[in-house]
Structure 1
Amino acid sequence: MTVLRFIPLVLLLAASPPLTAAEAPPDVAGSIGQMVFGLAVVIGLLLAGLWLIKRLSVARGALTGLKVLGAVPVGPRERVVLVEIAGKVLVLGVTSASVRTLHILSADESANLVGPGDPGKAGGDFPGWLRRAMERRNDAR
């Protein structure tokens, strides 16, 4: 008689439709795996884009022909910078608030800046040149 008690339960289970995909319990491991894979793809695309931008970008100053020859600090936030552009050499005073042109040299005058330690390189003795130029300026007054 005990077997007869379970017959309605067996018939009920047999008559119920099977579980569909929407009713199936979620696969947590598969979901996490998909999420990690998607994140890796997005990070990979970002890194590839950054690398491509770096490779295709033009170097700073290369387009304009600007070349920094030397710099000398004259204060905590001030410096004098020697810059070559279009065959001329500019002596610039650079502060945290502004940049001013102090002097413009031609290519002939800039050749005098070659120091004994750096033959053939303009700006080799820039601190010495600046000192001499300041002395000449003070003597002229």
Structure 2
Amino acid sequence: MAESSATADAARQGAESAAGQGAIFAGGSDAMLQTAIWLLVIVGLILLLAWAVRRFTNIGPRSVGGMRVLSALPVGNRERIALVQVGDKQLLIGVAPGHVSTLHVFDENVLEAPTARKTP
């Protein structure tokens, strides 16, 4: 009989510890859900900031006065080829650190100049 009461006590202690672990796991799933929600919020903020930077900064072809960069292609680490519109002429230029050279002057427009975007 003493053995059966010792076994019953051991079983009771095991059940209590299992119930306590269940509470830990329940809190763990809440913590995982909260962590996932915060992760989604942070990723959303990063995407929103990236959109705002692209929307409100002048990234891409720029125009100053009568000159406009229509297209640019990197050909090395610091070298690029650019198609530039100056008035009604289009020029293909090579740009490198400390050096700019004209590669070709086109008789007819190769690319149409993009129209100005309307800002809301």
* TM-score over 0.5 for the pair: no
Give the structure with higher Rg (CA).
1
Q: Normalising by the residue count of structure 2, what TM-score does the alignment of the two structures yield?
A: 0.44
